[in-house]
């Protein structure tokens, strides 16, 4: 297939002045162990905190009870070096309050796993997927295997995925890496000269936006949109499901955040919030919060907002999107036990908060429509079965 990746001209940079702000972080119960560059996912009222380079233990934090519990550990043959964890979304599980099942995927770069390993063994171990199945009596990381029980390797020879970030996104039952067929759909190269790792990578659908749908030849085609920020690189990435190609558009990056990476981030109501970060040599560490408005294509910096400079912490929204949790991190000397939260209204304008309410209403209406459609299908199946039973 002919390469159809395009680069569009960068929009005019718009940056609002930096602001000083007094914020009200609520300090929560300390982590059971110091963590930096950990990974965290949300399931209902629980945050799953999934280890770091020096810690194999995974913990659950209950947001209502303010309690931690150990749920499992990674196996001894898994090296966590800039690992990435994503949650496999299950609409049935999310809507069923009694369903306590969750599946997570983790992969990591294993290039640093021993100097005596030959390149073949390194590349074979690279980015092996593991899945965590959580139910009432079962918590365990297990290798993700194909139909012949062979471990799935998503990396290629000599790829380096330390600090990689991923989005698990379904597009007409296909992924850019297809978890059903265990094959890549598309490889491409980002249009930047910078190393991209430990970066911000979000899907526009994370904040309730509906992806672009186009009707062509009586079928619907979906264009999936993502945003990436790392140091002075900003990109809007669009994946065309029909042609299986990427298009890239440069985005502005404000001067205050351009030196930094390894920041924590969340996306809510058309806004990306980025916390902390450090420069390339890690001798300058930020304690500011940066805000990027997707709709307005503008940046705002809140200077000296956090109580201490950090990097390699992780940020995650609460289930109702009212709080941002900031977990762990490195202060330049040691890994941290820090766990704090703050109300998102501290960072969003009245208009942005209103948009969040509108998106919540739309989401609830969509869920109701889906439930009605399921009920209708169920009733139709019962009618069909009754007709089939008649002699």
pLDDT of residue 292: 96
pTM (two decimals): 0.78
The tally of domains found in the chain comes to 2
For 374, the domain range is 349-385
pLDDT at 188: 83
**Sheet hosting strand 46-52, strand order edge to edge:** 40-43, 46-52, 55-62, 67-73
Residues whose CB falls within 8 Å of the CB of residue 220, separated by 6 or more in sequence, listed in order = 213, 214
Strands 19-20 and 298-303, by their bridges, are parallel
198/99 same-domain check: yes
Q: Which helix (H) or strand (E) holds 49?
A: strand 46-52
Each residue's pLDDT expressed in tens, for the chain with a length of 391 residues: 434 433 333 344 445 555 555 567 899 999 999 999 999 999 989 999 999 999 999 999 999 999 999 998 988 877 788 888 888 766 554 455 555 677 888 876 655 443 333 333 333 333 455 667 665 556 888 888 888 888 777 767 777 788 888 887 655 444 566 666 667 777 788 999 989 999 999 988 654 443 444 444 444 456 788 999 999 999 999 988 788 888 999 999 999 999 999 999 999 988 999 999 999 999 999 989 999 999 999 999 987 678 889 999 999 999 999 999 999 999 989 999 999 999 988 888 777 766 655 555 555 555 555 555 555 555 555 554 455 544 4
Q: What is the CATH number for 172?
A: 2.120.10.80
Q: Answer yes or no: do 334 and 380 share one domain.
A: no
Instruction: Give pLDDT, residue 147.
Output: 83
Are residues 104 and 143 both part of a single domain? yes
Give domain status of residue 1, yes or no.
no
Residue 251's pLDDT is what? Answer: 96
Do 184 and 203 sit in the same domain of this protein?
Answer: yes
**Residue 120 has what pLDDT?**
30
| 177 and 139 within one domain | yes
């Amino acid at each position: 297939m002919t390469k159809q990746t395009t680069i569009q001209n960068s929009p005019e940079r718009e940056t609002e002045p930096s602001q000083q702000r007094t914020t009200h972080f609520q300090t929560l119960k300390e982590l059971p162990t110091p963590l930096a560059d950990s990974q965290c996912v949300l399931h209902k009222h629980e945050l799953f905190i999934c280890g770091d380079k020096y810690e194999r233990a995974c913990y659950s934090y209950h947001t209502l009870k303010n309690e931690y519990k150990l749920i499992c550990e990674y196996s001894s043959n898994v090296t966590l070096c800039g690992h990435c964890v994503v949650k496999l979304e299950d609409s049935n599980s999310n809507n069923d309050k009694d369903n306590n099942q969750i599946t997570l995927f983790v992969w990591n770069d294993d290039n640093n796993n021993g100097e005596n390993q030959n390149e073949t063994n390194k590349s074979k171990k690279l980015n092996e997927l593991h899945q965590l199945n959580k139910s009432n009596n079962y918590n365990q990381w297990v290798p993700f295997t194909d139909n012949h029980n062979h471990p799935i390797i998503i990396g290629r020879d000599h790829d380096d995925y330390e600090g990689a970030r991923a989005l698990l996104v379904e597009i007409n039952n296909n992924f850019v890496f297809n978890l059903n067929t265990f094959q890549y759909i598309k490889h491409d190269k980002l249009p930047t000269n910078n190393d991209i790792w430990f970066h911000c990578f979000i899907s526009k659908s994370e904040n309730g936006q509906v992806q672009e749908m186009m009707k062509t030849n009586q079928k619907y085609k979906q264009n999936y949109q993502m945003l990436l920020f790392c140091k002075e690189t900003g990109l809007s990435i669009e994946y065309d499901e029909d042609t299986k190609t990427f298009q890239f558009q440069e985005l502005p990056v404000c001067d205050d955040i351009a030196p930094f990476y390894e920041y924590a981030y969340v996306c809510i109501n058309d806004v990306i919030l980025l916390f902390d970060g450090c420069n390339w040599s890690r001798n300058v560490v930020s304690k500011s919060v940066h805000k990027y408005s997707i709709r307005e294509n503008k940046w705002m910096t809140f200077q000296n907002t956090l109580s201490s400079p950090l990097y390699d912490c992780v940020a995650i929204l609460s289930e109702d999107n009212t709080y941002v949790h900031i977990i762990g991190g490195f202060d330049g000397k040691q890994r941290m036990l820090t766990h704090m939260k703050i109300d998102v209204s501290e960072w969003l304008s009245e208009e942005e908060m209103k948009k969040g309410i509108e998106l919540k209403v739309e989401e609830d209406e969509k869920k109701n429509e889906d439930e009605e459609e399921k009920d209708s299908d169920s009733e139709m199946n019962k009618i069909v079965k009754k007709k089939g039973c008649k002699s």
